[in-house]
Homo-oligomer: A and B are copies of this chain.
């Protein structure tokens, strides 16, 4: 019940691009360096996000990646599910069958039911947080109360 490596590193790479805005652009090697991961790994994660429509790739000498939409318009649910698949595997019941052909709890599965409810809760939370929220939060963490008091600063979650 944890965030996978793909999901986390993918999100982190996307955040690097989000900080540049939709007009900005960065090469894979710069992104990899920014996150402390290898270039091939960053490359792989960005390829997934490109195919998912989250980022655009520009090839050639002045190439690089850029984020496709405003960070305030991209929520975490979209990012996480595009990197790691849906929160509740669509053929969950076909996979968790143990040694049997079919799961023993076909018409009677409170576990599956509760997983659905849980997935809904998680989805709601993730959908309510955008990349921009994360970036804003970062700023507050780096610069705790610069200048005047910032107690009125936007709170990400309660």
Contact = CB atoms under 8 A, between A and B. Distances in A.
A70 B119 CA distance: 27
B115 A3 contact: yes
Interface stretch (A21-29, A54-62, A84-92): A84-92
A142 B108 CA distance: 6
B114 A129 contact: yes
Interface of A: 1-5, 7-9, 11-12, 15, 34-38, 41, 76, 80, 84, 87-89, 96-100, 103-105, 107-111, 113-115, 117-118, 121-122, 125-126, 129, 134-135, 137-138, 141-142, 156-157
A8 B88 CA distance: 13
Contacts of A142: 107-108
One complex includes copies of this chain to the number of 2
A121 B125 contact: yes
A138 to B, nearest CB: 4
Given A103-B36, A104-B35, A113 B96 contact: no
B117 A157 contact: yes
Given A37-B98, A96-B8, A118 B111 contact: no
Contacts of A126: 118
A116 to B, nearest CB: 10
A87 B36 contact: no
Looking at A5, A41, A111, A156, the one whose CB has the most chain B CB atoms below 10 A away is A111
A139 to B, nearest CB: 9
